[in-house]
Structure 1
Amino acid sequence: MVITQTNPPNLRDATKTRFTPEEYRAIEETAEERHEYCNGEIILMPGCSEVHSTIACNLLIYLGFLLRDTDFRLYNNDLRVWIPEHGCGTYADLMVINGEPEFNGDRTDEILNPLRIVEVLSPSTEGYDRGEKFRK
């Protein structure tokens, strides 16, 4: 998979190549596509296939069943994982936390305390999802 920096269509200055986390979050709130953020770069996320979606849904159902009546919480890719020490925000297919979620400041869309992260791999994204995605 080729990761490229993109300028989302709702960006006023299309020549800008580095963004603050606040600029990224403002762009992401109205973007039609999802983007990851890493140290000032905004990276377009690829779409997923029907097979990918089916696997992610099945895992969500299965893990939800296994984790019922526990202190573990399961989340899908609607919430971002924020990694402050690397200045990165990304969307995991699934994540599990233990107890209450720790949000990034007053944001309710960025989780700081995932215990487990689950990525559904495809041939085009496997290398990135297994390594660089969470090690920026």
Structure 2
Amino acid sequence: MISAKAQKVFTVQEYLDWEKSQDERFEFHDGMIVSMAGGTPPHALICENIFGNLYSLLKKTECRPRGTEQKVHIEEFGNFSGNDYYPDITIVCGKSQYNAWGCLLNPVLIGEVLSPSTHLFDRNDKFERYRTLPSLKTYLLIAQDTPRIEVFRRDLDGDWNLEPTEIIETLDGVLELRDLGVTLKMTDIYVDVFPRFNP
């Protein structure tokens, strides 16, 4: 689990002002400033592989992938006026919308690469808050210790399936991003992560 900075409730403005003076990135969750778990080489490779492939596939469309530095803002959740997260994968289509602090407001896809310390947070707390974004259509949970991707989609009525609508668990599988009209091979996503399986 990510670690919280003390046990104090901060405002969004206090968090943003404080983060400016830090060398590392911190997320803002229900009034708490939380440090992000240290990344592993497989985590970094998966993010790079997905970003690179999506950049090429979407180059001639109105959609663009964003890197891990792009913060996403959740306007309101429960009694809290804002949550700010750094997803591992973000895609926006059309004109990007930002708040006054440069946080993205209208992603259509968000993906998180799971780690032992964050997988429950990504699966539960973050997903619950991401689902409040009207623009979001697809949420991905991506394993780094085995080839596995869980796909959650918003249905035609605008409701979310809380169980994965699809699970890809083999390297010969394909991740189909229907709303974007593109597919990614699992071998491309996990290239160099599992060298013995490289094409």
TM over 0.5: yes
Aligned length: 125
1:21 aligns with 2:12: yes
Residue 59 (structure 1) aligned with residue 50 (structure 2)? yes
Return the match for 1:45 from 36, 42, 66: 36
Q: TM-score, normalised by structure 2?
A: 0.59
Shift of 1:3: 3.4
CA distance in 2, matches of 1:126, 1:34: 18
Identity %: 35
- Aligned partner of 1:75 among 66, 70, 73: 66
Asked if residue 94 in structure 1 is aligned to residue 89 in structure 2, the reply is: yes
CA distance in 1, matches of 2:15, 2:21: 10
Higher helix share: 1
* Residues 39 and 124 of structure 1, relative CA distance in 2, 3 Å threshold: closer
- Higher relative CO (CA 8 A, sep ≥ 6), structure 1 or 2? 1
2:110 to 106, 109, 117: 117
Q: Give the ranges of 4+ consecutive aligned residues of structure 1 lying more than 6 Å apart after TM superposition.
A: none
Q: Deviations over 1:17-45 (max 9, x none)?
A: 11110010011112122211122111111
Determine which structure has more spread, i.e. the larger CA radius of gyration. Answer: 2
Task: Give the letter for the 2:5 counterpart.
Answer: T
SS in 1 for 2:20: helix
Deviations 1:71-99 (A, max 9, x none): 00210111111000222101001100111
Q: 2:18 is paired with a residue of what secondary structure?
A: helix
For structure 1, the 5+ residue unaligned runs are: 8-15
Unaligned runs of 5+ in 2: 130-199
The answer to whether structure 1 residue 3 and structure 2 residue 2 are counterparts is yes
- Answer yes or no: is 1:30 the counterpart of 2:25: no
Amino acid in structure 1 at the alignment position of 2:126: K
What is the root-mean-square deviation in Å for CA atoms of aligned residues?
A: 1.6
Distance 1:52 1:29 in 2: 25
1:63 CA drift (Å): 0.9
